[in-house]
Structure 1
Amino acid sequence: MNYTLHQLQVFLKITQTQSITKAAEELHLTQPAVSIQLKNFQDQFDIPLTELVGRRLFITDFGKEIAQAAEKILHEVHAINYKTMAYKGQLTGRLKIASVSTGKYVMPYFLSDFLNLHQGIELALDVTNKSKVVESLEQNEVDFALVSVVPEHLQIEQIDLMPNRLYLVGNMDQQFQRKSYDISLLEAIPLIYREKGSGTRHVMEKFITQHHLPVKKKLELTSNEAVKQAVIAGLGFSIMPLIGIKNNLHDGELQIIPLEGFPIQSTWSLIWLKGKKFSPAASAYLAFLNKDKDRIIQQKFSWLEHYKAAR
């Protein structure tokens, strides 16, 4: 046998996602590249690793055993790399973070300087929906989780990073001339929602419930990007985080409709299980955030305050 570490990485990701498409996305590869690596890996075994039933990919029992072995091999390779870096006096290890989907507009800016400073640290950043983020944290699979709504059922500690402001937005087809509208406007327009469990939806529904507004739910979509495209296409309006629509506002694809009581606000917080024993990499990152978060906000997110002032 002559399989490569890359083939092991690809096959392991396929078993974790049970999808070539999703594996390609998470590995930042094309689908054909992942399919070729799977075929080359499979060619080295007489027993099938996967099987296709209809359009669904399934991992065989043999494939699951090979995946477990692959995970152990890759873990040992990481350990060798970390020991080599540590021997050179560099901070090493894996930093594991789960982030809710809209957090992709926030988390990278709080990571880049730290990772540039400590190039021996490997980042595992999983951007997914809120329920999976909370599950990863609950199962102690990650060091930290970035959320905009803190889960109430877990004993956690946290560091608050920055405000998360949400506005009512629509496309440019309709003109809104007033400086401010009553929130009863929400009763007259079709609203596009995020999926259940989304932090954005939680904040949105909390506001609507508190004000007893009989709104019209037009659509329910599973990502911030899908909601944006639906709003731009004229399918309805939505309440969205300002952090995720900067370019769309600048390009004239979206507009903020000024409502009394808006923006609605939550907080971007990095949370971890209470009493968690941190790795050296995780401890160093938390110390970095406590020291540098204000500088990062000023350098990378000052436009939020300027935009608010301009409104």
Structure 2
Amino acid sequence: MNYTLNQLRIFLKVVQTQSVTKASEELHLTQPAVSIQMKNFQDQFEIPLTEVVGRKIYITDFGLEIAEAAENIINQVYAINYKTLAYKGQLAGRLKLSVVSTGKYVMPFFLANFIQQHSGVELLMDVTNKIKVIDSLENNEVDFALVSILPNTLNIEKLDLLQNKLYLVGNAENPVSKTPSTIETIANLPLIFREKGSGTRQTMESFIERNNITVQKKMELTSNEAVKQSILAGLGYSMMPLIGIKSELINNELQIIPIKGLPIKTTWSLIWLKGKKHSPVAQSFLQHLKENKAKIVEDQFNWYEDY
């Protein structure tokens, strides 16, 4: 056997994503490079690790056992690196976060200085919808989660970071009155919704139900970016978090539609399971946020007050 750590990482990522294409994207490699390493890795075993049926790749039972062993080996390598740094007096280890999709516009600003100060910290951040975020927290798979709607099914602790504002948004081609329209105006607009499980969708639907509005549902999309591009194309309107449309507002590509009762205001909060025993890295990060969050908000989100 003459496999490399790189081959183990690539094979493990293919197993996790069930796709050579997705693995290449997450590893920032070309698809041919991943395929070549997969072939070189497979050539060292007489038993197939994978099989392809149609266009889909399946992992064999033997492949799953090898993937488990590969993960253990990689974790041991990380442990050696962390112990070396810790012995030298440096903070080292993994910081694992799960972030709702719109949170990708928020969390990096609260991470940047901490990661820059501690080169021995490895960041693992999963950006997904609210249901998966809460599941990962409940299963104790992450240190922290970032949400804009607190879960009512878990016993948690939290640190509030930033206010979240949702406005009705349309493209900038049609001029609108600066005087806020009535809530009933929404009933006449083709609306674009996020997918079920999205916190943005939950907030939007709660607002509509609370105001007893019957709306036209134009379409349902699975990311804020897809919603934004559809609005830019003139396909409809949606309630979007202000945090994700800064550039489009500045460039006059999108506009806020003034509606009485908007914006909807929630709070971006970092949450964790109550009683969780944090690792030194997680504890250090939490302390960093408590000490620096006000300055981060002032430096990075001062534009927020213009809306």
Report the Cα distance in structure 2 between the residues aligned to 1:9 and 1:171, rounded to whole angstroms: 43
Q: Could you tell me which amino acid in structure 2 is paired with residue 63 of structure 1?
A: G
Report the Cα distance in structure 1 between the residues aligned to 2:207 and 2:193, rounded to whole angstroms: 13
Matched, 1:165 2:162: no
TM-score normalised per structure 1: 0.96
Report the Cα distance in structure 2 between the residues aligned to 1:76 and 1:170, rounded to whole angstroms: 51
Residue aligning to 2:108 = 108
Residue aligning to 1:15 = 15
Residue aligning to 1:45 = 45
Report the Cα distance in structure 2 between the residues aligned to 1:129 and 1:21, rounded to whole angstroms: 22
Report the Cα distance in structure 2 between the residues aligned to 1:300 and 1:178, rounded to whole angstroms: 27
Matched, 1:83 2:108: no
Q: Could you tell me which amino acid in structure 2 is paired with residue 270 of structure 1?
A: L
Residue aligning to 2:191 = 191
Residue aligning to 1:208 = 208
Report the Cα distance in structure 1 between the residues aligned to 2:244 and 2:173, rounded to whole angstroms: 21
Report the Cα distance in structure 2 between the residues aligned to 1:159 and 1:208, rounded to whole angstroms: 29
Residue aligning to 2:154 = 154
Residue aligning to 1:121 = 121
Report the Cα distance in structure 2 between the residues aligned to 1:263 and 1:41, rounded to whole angstroms: 54
Report the Cα distance in structure 1 between the residues aligned to 2:57 and 2:151, rounded to whole angstroms: 33
- 1:155-200 per-residue CA deviation (whole Å, 9 max, x = no partner) reads 1111111011011111123221342111111100000000001010
Q: Could you tell me which amino acid in structure 2 is paired with residue 110 of structure 1?
A: F
Q: Tell me, what secondary structure is at the counterpart of 2:166?
A: strand
Residue aligning to 2:237 = 237
Residue aligning to 2:141 = 141
Q: Could you tell me which amino acid in structure 1 is paired with residue 70 of structure 2?
A: A
- 1:201-223 per-residue CA deviation (whole Å, 9 max, x = no partner) reads 01111111100000111100000
Q: Could you tell me which amino acid in structure 1 is paired with residue 289 of structure 2?
A: L
Matched, 1:294 2:300: no
Residue aligning to 2:57 = 57
| Correspondence list, 1:244-259, <5 A | 244-259=244-259
Residue aligning to 1:273 = 273
- 1:121-152 per-residue CA deviation (whole Å, 9 max, x = no partner) reads 11111111111111111110100001111111
Q: Tell me, what secondary structure is at the counterpart of 2:301?
A: helix
Q: Tell me, what secondary structure is at the counterpart of 1:291?
A: helix
Gaps of 5+ in 1: none
- 1:60-106 per-residue CA deviation (whole Å, 9 max, x = no partner) reads 11110010000000010000000100111101111111111111101
Q: CA deviation at 1:271?
A: 0.5
TM-score normalised per structure 2: 0.97
Q: CA deviation at 1:233?
A: 0.9
Report the Cα distance in structure 1 between the residues aligned to 2:42 and 2:226, rounded to whole angstroms: 36
Matched, 1:2 2:2: yes
- 1:223-251 per-residue CA deviation (whole Å, 9 max, x = no partner) reads 01111111111111010001001111222
Q: Tell me, what secondary structure is at the counterpart of 1:111?
A: helix
Residue aligning to 2:71 = 71
Report the Cα distance in structure 2 between the residues aligned to 1:25 and 1:271, rounded to whole angstroms: 29
Report the Cα distance in structure 1 between the residues aligned to 2:254 and 2:114, rounded to whole angstroms: 34
Q: Could you tell me which amino acid in structure 2 is paired with residue 98 of structure 1?
A: S
Q: CA deviation at 1:17?
A: 1.4
Q: CA deviation at 1:264?
A: 0.8
Residue aligning to 1:221 = 221
Q: Could you tell me which amino acid in structure 2 is paired with residue 246 of structure 1?
A: K
Q: Tell me, what secondary structure is at the counterpart of 1:277?
A: coil
Report the Cα distance in structure 2 between the residues aligned to 1:84 and 1:268, rounded to whole angstroms: 36
Q: CA deviation at 1:19?
A: 1.6
Report the Cα distance in structure 1 between the residues aligned to 2:197 and 2:14, rounded to whole angstroms: 26
Gaps of 5+ in 2: none
Q: CA deviation at 1:52?
A: 1.4
Report the Cα distance in structure 2 between the residues aligned to 1:178 and 1:172, rounded to whole angstroms: 13
Q: Could you tell me which amino acid in structure 2 is paired with residue 15 of structure 1?
A: V
- The count of aligned residue pairs is 307
Q: Tell me, what secondary structure is at the counterpart of 1:196?
A: coil
